Amino acid sequence: MIDACSKPPRRAGRLAAISRADFIGIGGCGMSGLARMLHSLGIETSGSDAQTSPVTDALMAQGLSIRTVQDGIGLPSNLDLLVTSAAIAPDHPEVLAAEQRGIEIRTYAEVLGMVQEGRTGVSIAGTHGKSTTAAMLCHILVSCGFDPSFIIGANCDQIGGGSRTGADTIPPNGPLAGDPGILVCEACEFNRSFHQHRPTVALINNIEEDHLDIYGSLDSIIDAFREFALKLPPAEDGGSLLIAHDEAHRHHITPPLSCHVATFGFHPEADYQVEWNPAVQRTGILRDGMWTAQWTNPMPGAHNALNAAAAVILAHQLGAEWDDAAEAMAAFKGLDRRTQRLGTRTVDGGSVIVYDDYGHHPTEIERTLKALRNHEQPERLICVFQPHQHSRTRFLLEQFAESFAQADEVLVPPIYFVRDSEAEKHRVSAVDLVRRLQDRGTAARHVDTFDAIVEILEQDLVAGDLLVIMGAGPVWTIGRDFLDRSTP
């Protein structure tokens, strides 16, 4: 623990010397949140993005200078730090201009690590569930009066968006009373960026094959998570890891750690055993065979019961009372694009229910579709899925084909092209996925454009259908467009 009298100032460590910072790709969820946080710390903050958006408009309304011309000429003078998103190439004109001027250049993850140096960092890691669990935890902490700072990769209206700058210190109750204020953030494993984090408390929710273009194998991914966990300080200095009893390869992660370690999950041998009744969405946590907390979970599915349980446990470890944390969890209203119920549309004889979800990994798809089928009990489940990245689609093609067993029909637009090379783009297509689905007996078809998909939905959907839009790209517009169409 850090003594309250010797806590670092808000701009601690490497950030103390920064007076002006600029962000390339400032319109992204994480980048915009980090920019707001630096701005709130008294650092003059600006940025650029290829185009304006509601996010950049909001940043400008808060006093940040935003430009859309990214030629390097407009890079501010007297700049101390240039922050780049993961999507920015090394030969970007503004990166080259900063290099010529000798300006320090850091990635988003590196600067997030700098911010954590002056906070009680809580890093949420795992292949799946990072945004959902982080939003749940932040909602609990806000409800329980802990006034946390946070940066999460999705919008949650209930907690004021995707980012927030909170109190300098933890309130005077609980085990961390008086320590530097809480900062909750997602710890993304892409390109090993979570190795830049400097957390005090961390969660590893699960570990699976993903980003194989970076890692090459599951063993390499596990090694990266172990290295992340080793960033935690020793137990006597407050370091603590909560890790899934199952599905997180804990036997490979935890042996070298000096921090406090606790497990959670459905397994009766977990330190925190989770109980879940799908019929009524009732979720609870047992510790040493005794109930500590119970609540009705607002988001359907076993995976969301585990996400919620992890959030409640972390909140308790940070000082929240069990009953208060459970009450807050029961009142959570969800976040954008995570099993999000968009609404219903009236059709002849009844209505069609529409959900939107960010799921873009086979396990996420399988669990979300199963949860929604059990929860909504539709006559048919129609899924529109846009694959995200050609490399991910190629590496996990067979797993993707298996993950749509709960769907009666799948419509697949072209793969969302991001980060991959042009050569990778030609190695796999949406048609390859459609063929694999058809080989497994799932009705599937490739449709070239979003507009054409909406037209098909207009013609084919009938009362009792459940429409699920899935993917990490712009596919989310299809659900909104379908609902916006006038009733035939």
Could you tell me which residues come within 8 angstroms of residue 425 by beta carbon, excluding any fewer than 6 positions away?
390, 417
pTM score, whole prediction: 0.90
CB-side exposure of 82: number of CA atoms within 13 Å? 27
State which of 278, 296, 330 marks the end of a domain.
Answer: 330
Mean pLDDT of the 358-366 span: 93
Residue 10, pLDDT above cutoff 60: no
Kindly state whether residue 113 falls inside one of the protein's structural domains.
no
**CATH of residue 177:** 3.40.1190.10
Q: Do 378 and 455 belong together in one domain?
A: yes
Angle of the 29-40 helix axis to the 54-61 helix axis, nearest 10: 0
Residue 103 reports pLDDT greater than 90: yes
State residue 7's pLDDT score.
Answer: 37
- Say yes or no: 200 and 311 in one domain: yes
The token pair that represents 153 in the structure block: 């990769």
Q: Is residue 375 part of a domain?
A: yes
Highest mean pLDDT (candidates 85-89, 159-163, 206-210): 206-210
| DSSP one-letter code for 76 | P
State the CATH number of the domain containing residue 88.
Answer: 3.40.50.720
Query: Tokens for 394?
Result: 């190629």
Domain C-terminal end among 107, 134, 163: 107
* Count of domains observed in the chain: 3
Query: Are 145 and 285 in a shared domain?
Result: yes
Structure token pair of residue 451: 């507009």
- Banded pLDDT at 85 (limits 50, 70, 90): confident
Q: Are residues 237 and 179 in the same domain?
A: yes
Same domain, 325 and 189: yes
316 and 429 assigned to the same domain = no
In the chain, the percentage of residues whose pLDDT exceeds 90 is: 81
Residue at 311 is within a domain: yes
Same domain for 195 and 311, yes or no, is yes
**SS3 assignment, position 385:** strand
Q: What is the DSSP string of 272-311?
A: EEEEEETTTTEEEEEETTEEEEEEE-SS-SHHHHHHHHHH
Inter-residue contact 286 to 273 (CB < 8 Å) = yes
Query: Is residue 71 assigned to a domain?
Result: yes
pLDDT in tens, 110-130: 999 999 988 899 999 999 999
Residue 3 has pLDDT above 50, yes or no: no
CA pair distance 182, 118, nearest whole angstrom:
10
Domain identity same for 314 and 346: no
pLDDT for the residue 487: 54
191 shares its domain with 237:
yes
Considering the domain architecture, whether residues 325 and 405 belong to the same structural domain is answered as no
What integer pLDDT is reported at residue 486 of this predicted model? 62
* pLDDT band, very low/low/confident/very high, at 109 (cuts 50, 70, 90): very high
Q: Is residue 114 part of a domain?
A: no
* pLDDT single digits (tens) 150-195: 999 888 999 988 888 888 888 776 777 788 899 999 999 998 999 9
Radius of gyration of the chain (CA): 23
CA–CA–CA angle 424, 427, 433 (5° rounding): 120
Considering the domain boundaries, does residue 112 fall inside one? no
Compute the distance between CA of residue 47 and CA of residue 281 in angstroms, rounded to an integer. 44
Does a structural domain hold residue 303?
yes
Domain contains 335: no
Task: Return the pLDDT at 167.
Answer: 87
Q: Are 240 and 199 in contact (CB under 8 A)?
A: no
pLDDT mean over 303-313 = 97
Q: What is the mean pLDDT of the chain?
A: 92
Show the domain range for 27: 4-107
248 and 269 housed in the same domain: yes
Strands 240-244 and 44-48 turn out to be unpaired
pLDDT value at residue 330: 97
pLDDT at position 74 over 80: yes
Query: What is the Cα–Cα distance from 321 to 304, expressed in whole angstroms?
Result: 21
**What contacts 461, CB < 8 A, 6 or more positions away?**
347, 352, 382, 467
- DSSP 3-state of 362: helix
End-of-domain residue from the set 330, 358, 392:
330
- The reply to whether 20 and 93 lie within a common domain is yes
For the cut 90, the answer to whether the pLDDT of residue 208 exceeds it is yes
Q: Determine the pLDDT at residue 420.
A: 83
Q: What is the CATH number of the domain that holds 396?
A: 3.90.190.20
Q: What is the pLDDT of residue 164?
A: 85
